[in-house]
Amino acid sequence: MKVGVYPGSFDPITNGHLDIIARSVKVFDKVVVLVASNPDKKYLFTKEERVNMIKDAVKEYGNVEVDSTDGLTVEYAKRIGSKHLIRGLRAVTDFEYEFQLAAANEFIDKDIDMVFFMSHSDTSFISSSTINELYSSGVDISSLVPLSVINGYKNKK
Ligand code: COA
């Protein structure tokens, strides 16, 4: 079985991430969405909140699982028998960061490959922090995120 691991901060998950998931499930038998940590970031939602919002957003898929890790994504992938990490590319500005991350992952394990999907143009401007900013400014973001995220914000109040 070909398993792809889609790691990210997902603070919160957006329709941009869901677009990547929708396309990944056509390529992999199973996709594991992995909530991982970027030590440079301060998160709005706890890891558990992020996992639960994603679980609700992907419940239509029979072949998508959601998990979290405090360790390296490569180690997680190895542990579950996956050799592929999935990432999305929104713009050329993402490339440098992804290139660096791919090199670090390759240094950890040469057997792991990164698989990239290009974001659709209607979601390529979205990032989680943009969504957080729009929401806190009172902008209607319901067309940019799943319902579980709207509820997540409401529960934060
Ligand atoms: N649609 C919308 N937004 C997208 C997107 C898409 N398709 N793809 C990325 N983004 C956004 C995210 O929302 C996020 O926005 P933000 O910066 O405003 O929060 C930004 O792009 C980048 O996020 P993400 O892809 O989640 O990367 P990250 O830097 O937050 O996290 C990890 C990267 C968690 C995967 C990485 O740090 C990691 O693997 N950590 C575990 C430790 C490890 O293995 N490190 C690697 C070796 S050192």
* Mutate which of 9, 19, 110, 129 for ligand 1 pocket (most atoms within 8 A of beta carbon): 9
What kind and span of H or E run contains 68?
strand 64-68
Q: Radius of gyration (Cα) for the chain, nearest Å?
A: 15
Quote the CA–CA distance of 144 and 10 in Å, as a whole number: 14
**Count of CB atoms situated within 10 Å of the CB of 134:** 15
Percentage of the residues of the chain whose pLDDT score is greater than 70:
100
pLDDT of the residue at 93: 82
| Residue labelled with tokens 């992020």 | 50
pLDDT, tens digit (0-9, with 9 covering 90-100), for 51-87: 999 999 999 999 999 999 999 999 999 999 999 999 9
The answer to whether 128 is a known catalytic residue is: yes
pLDDT of the residue at 124: 85
Quote the CA–CA distance of 155 and 134 in Å, as a whole number: 17
Quote the CA–CA distance of 115 and 70 in Å, as a whole number: 22
pLDDT of the residue at 46: 96
The answer to whether 50 is a known catalytic residue is: no
| Residue labelled with tokens 């889609």 | 6
Which residues are registered as beta bridge partners of 116? 87
pLDDT, tens digit (0-9, with 9 covering 90-100), for 77-128: 999 999 999 999 998 888 999 999 999 999 999 999 999 999 888 888 899 9
Cα dihedral value 141, 144, 149, 155, nearest 10: 0
Report residue 106 as tokens: 């390759």
**Count of CB atoms situated within 10 Å of the CB of 133:** 12
What is the atom index within ligand 1 of the atom nearest the CA of 130?
18
pLDDT score of 136 more than 90: yes
